[in-house]
Amino acid sequence: MREIPPGFLLSFLLASSLGFMGHGLFGRYRVAVLYYWLAALIGYAAGYLASLVLVTGLPRVGEAPVIEGTLGAVASVLVVRVLDP
């Protein structure tokens, strides 16, 4: 059985928690939790890719770029907040 890499698991859990917190703060409908969650996952992935391209040198936890990923996830959650009817 293959193990899940710890960096991926940490990134997934952090992005998911940011999406759920965004829905808890800004969400008005139950179905909106999916939008916030997906936006946080996509934003975290974008932050991860930006950290690979820009080579910022910010500290990481294992292989997970926590700061860049969090910034991407928060930005995408705020975009969903603005677009949420």
Domain count, the chain: 1
Percentage of the chain exceeding pLDDT 70: 99
Residue 23 has pLDDT above 70, yes or no: yes
Confidence band (pLDDT; 50, 70, 90) for 15?
A: very high
Answer whether 52's CB lies under 8 Å from 72's CB. Answer: no
* Residue 48 resides in a domain: yes
pTM of the model: 0.88
Q: What is the pLDDT of residue 85?
A: 64
* Residue 1 resides in a domain: no
Burial class (CB in 10 A: 0-12, 13-18, 19+), 25: exposed
* Residue 51 resides in a domain: yes
CB atoms inside a 10 Å sphere around CB 51: 21
* Residue 24 resides in a domain: yes
pLDDT tens across 39-83, in order?
A: 999 999 999 999 889 887 788 888 888 999 999 999 999 999 998
Residue ranges making up the domain that contains 67: 6-83
* Residue 14 resides in a domain: yes
